[in-house]
Amino acid sequence: MHSSFTRLQNVFGFFTTVAFVLGAFIAATDLGSARTPSGVIKTDNIQVVKGRPHYYSSKKEEYAIIRFSLEADLSSLFTWNTKQLFVYVTADWTSPGGTNNSAVIWDSIITNPSADHLQNLGPVAMKKLKKSAEGKSIAPERGLLKLKNQKPKYQITHPSGKIAETADVTLKLHYNVQPWVGVLTWNMDKPLGVWNAMRGGVSDLFTLPALKSKDGKGKDTKDKSSTKSKKSKKP
Amino acid sequence: MAAEKISLYNLADLKNTADDAIPNYLNSLKFKQTHFLSDVRLGLGYTAFVICAACFAWDYKLGFEDTKIYTAIAVALYTLLNGALTFWMMFVEKGVVYQGTSPSGEKITVVSTTKKLDPTYRLSITVTDKSAKSHIIEVAKPFASFFDESGYFVAVPFQEILATAVPVIGKLDPRRIKSESQDMLNANPELLDAILAANNGASTGVDASEGGKRRKA
Amino acid sequence: MFSGLQNPRNIAAQIMNFGLVLSTAFMMWKGLSIVADSPSPIVVVLSGSMEPAFQRGDLLLLWNRELFTETSVGDIVVYNVKDKEIPIVHRVVRKFGHGDKARLLTKGDNNVADDTELYARGQDYLERSDIVGSVVAYVPFVGYVTILLSEYPWLKTAMLGIMGLMVVLQRE
């Protein structure tokens, strides 16, 4: 401590140590707050249509459009260290060869109010979002989801281009907790400490329907929603 | 040496400068310095460094995937060597700044320490005579006694401390031995006045005896 | 400052101390690489495509071993594309098959489209070997220094200069 420079150095060193330890403590508090996620997911209307992966593609693939209903309680996942919750629904099935397939059909970013300002939203939507939790920094109620006959965000296919009449498909609800600092967590198969495994969250097995016979529809799918889907086929 | 100006507020600098002065002084008195401890330390350190450099080279040239196993081995070796180095410095070297043998055959080991926020130079000097009997001499002196106010090291008082405290050194450099009374007079100008007064014969016996008492104290 | 220079051992020790600081930092990094089995176990987020989860400058800790589960849908992975310099941090949204042959498709949470456009020409899916690691932990903002350093090169020079000066000026 013999010069301003070493003083500055020491102060900075001490500051980083304190910040690091504080961060570790905050991250550790996650382990102490109970998690009791649960959900019920059901399929509604399912269609398989023909479409092209993108406008200029000459190839036609089959796309499954799975509508679903979801009722979930993920409110326990919101704590002071939760930055956002990423909720997503996957369709899972096994191909004849015994290989597993999994594809996201719907997802949603749910921010804690402390992270609202980071969302990529228009000014109106942002205002509304901020208003919805005015004065609060934690908003567990945002973890209560109720979707009826929800249209999927992503139409899914398989690299082979064939997906119609696939049997034993399930929908599964997943979440990913993004902390402000610390370890990222996903839904677990087994409970860990005060964190419970997801109750429910899996649909009954279902079979994708046959291709819609008259495919005047196929053309429409090319620019549907965000599906910049695959042109598939690897050599 | 000694031409170096250092910051008087930097304890590490004070200690390092004083540490450096010890071998200079003792070697000038024909002590034979042994570098075994520092050579082992340097050996361990540089071996570790070479391993790290090699690891850096192959990682840079060949990439991570192809050299994983070698990197793992290098990391393990490096950890071991660094552990050995730490062990050596903490439990073997223990702050030894000088090890050597006097011309007459006594072995001498000098350990220096400082305490945080205490500008005192503490030496622990182990002298082992030819019959392998050793004794330890502890010296603690404020740095102020051998640094001037602008931050220059002053060799003479420093050497006097060593020569006075350690007979083996004193024998080789008798000029630097300070008698205790001399020391006392320097430290206590009042006393000097008293003695001067006594010597002038103008004072009473009481004063003189008081001076004598102080000398003993 | 240069009082040690009279004795070659002192110079050697001083150089060694400096060298060991650098080499220990490097070896800790390599040790972490080995443990996580990833060439770069810590990455700094460079783009906003995973916002609001990750901002530019956030630090991510990666893990590249499939000890308990395979890399699966929902994981956030860092991958390299052939002939492209900068690794990308995105989420796996589709996975067909398993093991080394699995085909993976990624997408940034904040992007509308999936990553097909970002892949190499003719590449439709990632393979496991393209992936550098999955994100397991997150520290906000700390990596911003590196972004500053790469955007303002003079900062790098200045920092190296200061560091060099400190080493020369200080012992221990």
- Each residue's pLDDT tens digit, C120-133: 988 999 999 999 99
Instruction: For residues B58 and B106, state if they share a domain.
Output: no
Q: Is the pLDDT of residue A220 over 70?
A: no
Nearest residue in chain A measured CA to CA from B9: A2
ipTM over 0.90: no
Instruction: For residues B127 and B173, state if they share a domain.
Output: yes
Domain range for A5: 1-32
| A234 part of a folded domain | no
Q: Touching check for B173 and chain C: CB below 8 Å?
A: no
Domain range for C76: 42-145
Instruction: For residues B77 and B134, state if they share a domain.
Output: no
| B3 part of a folded domain | no
What is the predicted pLDDT for the residue at A221? 43
The number of C-alpha atoms within 13 Å of C169 and in the hemisphere containing its C-beta is 11
Local confidence band at A223 (pLDDT 50, 70, 90 cut-offs): very low
Instruction: Name the more confident of C2 and B4.
Output: B4
| B5 part of a folded domain | no
| A161 part of a folded domain | yes
Instruction: For residues B138 and B188, state if they share a domain.
Output: no
**Alpha helices, H only, chain B:** 11-28, 36-62, 64-87, 155-165, 167-172, 180-187, 189-199, 205-216
Write out the catalytic residue numbers of C: 49, 90, 115
Instruction: For residues A14 and A109, state if they share a domain.
Output: no
Instruction: For residues A68 and A178, state if they share a domain.
Output: yes
| C109 part of a folded domain | yes
What is the predicted pLDDT for the residue at A55? 74
Rounded mean pLDDT, A167-187: 96
Question: How many whole angstroms separate alpha carbon A91 and alpha carbon A107?
Answer: 12
Instruction: For residues A5 and A120, state if they share a domain.
Output: no
Select from A106, A105, A111 the least CA-distant residue to A126: A111
- CATH, residue C69: 2.10.109.10
For residue B61, with 0-12 CB atoms within 10 Å meaning exposed, 13-18 middle and 19 or more buried, which class applies? exposed
Instruction: For residues C53 and C125, state if they share a domain.
Output: yes
Instruction: For residues C135 and C56, state if they share a domain.
Output: yes
Instruction: Name the more confident of A228 and B172.
Output: B172
Q: Which residues, at least 6 apart from C152, have a Cβ–Cβ distance to it below 8 Å?
A: none
A184 to C94: CB separation less than 8 angstroms, yes or no? no
Number of domains making up chain C: 2
Instruction: For residues C23 and C65, state if they share a domain.
Output: no
Q: What is the pTM of this model?
A: 0.81
Q: Touching check for A184 and chain C: CB below 8 Å?
A: yes
Cβ contacts of A2 on chain B, cutoff 8 Å: 7, 9-11, 13
Number of domains making up chain B: 3
Q: Touching check for A214 and chain B: CB below 8 Å?
A: no
Q: Is the pLDDT of residue B190 over 70?
A: no
Rounded mean pLDDT, C110-114: 91
| C152 part of a folded domain | no
Interface test with C, best of B52, B62, B79, B158 (most C CBs within 10 A): B52
Q: Is the pLDDT of residue B42 over 90?
A: yes
Instruction: For residues B25 and B123, state if they share a domain.
Output: yes
Question: How many whole angstroms separate alpha carbon B182 and alpha carbon B188?
Answer: 10
Task: Find residues 72-111 of chain A whose CB sits inside 8 Å of chain B.
Answer: none
Local confidence band at C68 (pLDDT 50, 70, 90 cut-offs): confident
Nearest residue in chain C measured CA to CA from B63: C39
Number of domains making up chain A: 2
Instruction: For residues C62 and C121, state if they share a domain.
Output: yes
* Residues composing chain A: 235
Rounded mean pLDDT, C29-48: 94
For residues C45 and C60, the answer to whether their CB atoms sit within 8 Å is yes
| A83 part of a folded domain | yes
Task: Mark residue B51 as left, alpha or beta (left: phi above 0; alpha: psi -120 to 50; beta: remaining).
Answer: alpha
A186 to C113: CB separation less than 8 angstroms, yes or no? no
What is the predicted pLDDT for the residue at C30? 96
Count how many pairs of residues, chain A against chain B, have C-beta atoms within 8 Å: 10
Q: What is the pLDDT of residues A81-127, one digit of tens each?
A: 999 999 999 999 998 888 899 999 999 999 999 999 999 888 999 99
Instruction: For residues A126 and A144, state if they share a domain.
Output: yes
| B150 part of a folded domain | yes
Rounded mean pLDDT, B41-66: 96
Interface test with B, best of C20, C100, C131, C171 (most B CBs within 10 A): C20
Instruction: For residues C92 and C32, state if they share a domain.
Output: no
Q: What is the mean pLDDT of chain B?
A: 86
Instruction: For residues B198 and B118, state if they share a domain.
Output: no
Give me the numbers of helices (H) and strands (E) for chain A, helices first please.
2, 9
Interface test with C, best of B1, B22, B75 (most C CBs within 10 A): B75
Local confidence band at A224 (pLDDT 50, 70, 90 cut-offs): very low
What is the predicted pLDDT for the residue at B7? 86
| B2 part of a folded domain | no
Q: What is the pLDDT of residues A1-45, one digit of tens each?
A: 567 888 888 999 999 999 999 999 999 999 999 999 999 999 999
| Closest Cβ opposite residue B72 in set C7, C34, C39 | C34
| Closest Cβ opposite residue C16 in set B46, B55, B78 | B46
| Domain finish residue from B75, B93, B111 | B93
Instruction: For residues A15 and A62, state if they share a domain.
Output: no
Instruction: For residues A120 and A218, state if they share a domain.
Output: yes
Q: Which residues, at least 6 apart from B170, have a Cβ–Cβ distance to it below 8 Å?
A: B163, B164, B176, B177
| B144 part of a folded domain | yes
From start to end of A151-219, where are the E strands? 170-179, 182-183, 185-186, 199-200
Task: Find residues 114-153 of chain C whose CB sits inside 8 Å of chain A.
Answer: 114, 116-117, 124-125, 135-140
What is the predicted pLDDT for the residue at A213? 66
Q: Touching check for B7 and chain A: CB below 8 Å?
A: yes
A1 to B13: CB separation less than 8 angstroms, yes or no? no
| C161 part of a folded domain | no
A199's tokens: 């109750």
| C140 part of a folded domain | yes
| B204 part of a folded domain | yes
Instruction: For residues B113 and B174, state if they share a domain.
Output: yes
| A228 part of a folded domain | no
Q: State the smallest CA–CA distance between residue B1 and chain C in angstroms.
A: 7
Instruction: For residues A24 and A41, state if they share a domain.
Output: no
| Closest Cβ opposite residue B20 in set C4, C23, C24 | C4
Nearest residue in chain B measured CA to CA from C169: B13
| B136 part of a folded domain | yes
Domain range for B61: 38-93
Q: Touching check for A206 and chain C: CB below 8 Å?
A: no
| A231 part of a folded domain | no
Instruction: For residues B25 and B117, state if they share a domain.
Output: yes
For residue C32, with 0-12 CB atoms within 10 Å meaning exposed, 13-18 middle and 19 or more buried, which class applies? middle
Q: How is residue B155 annotated by DSSP? A: H
Chains adjacent to A (≥3 CB pairs closer than 8 angstroms):
B, C
Instruction: For residues C112 and C141, state if they share a domain.
Output: yes
Cβ contacts of B64 on chain C, cutoff 8 Å: 33, 39
- Report the percent of chain B where pLDDT is more than 70: 81
Q: Touching check for A4 and chain B: CB below 8 Å?
A: no
Instruction: For residues A180 and A197, state if they share a domain.
Output: yes
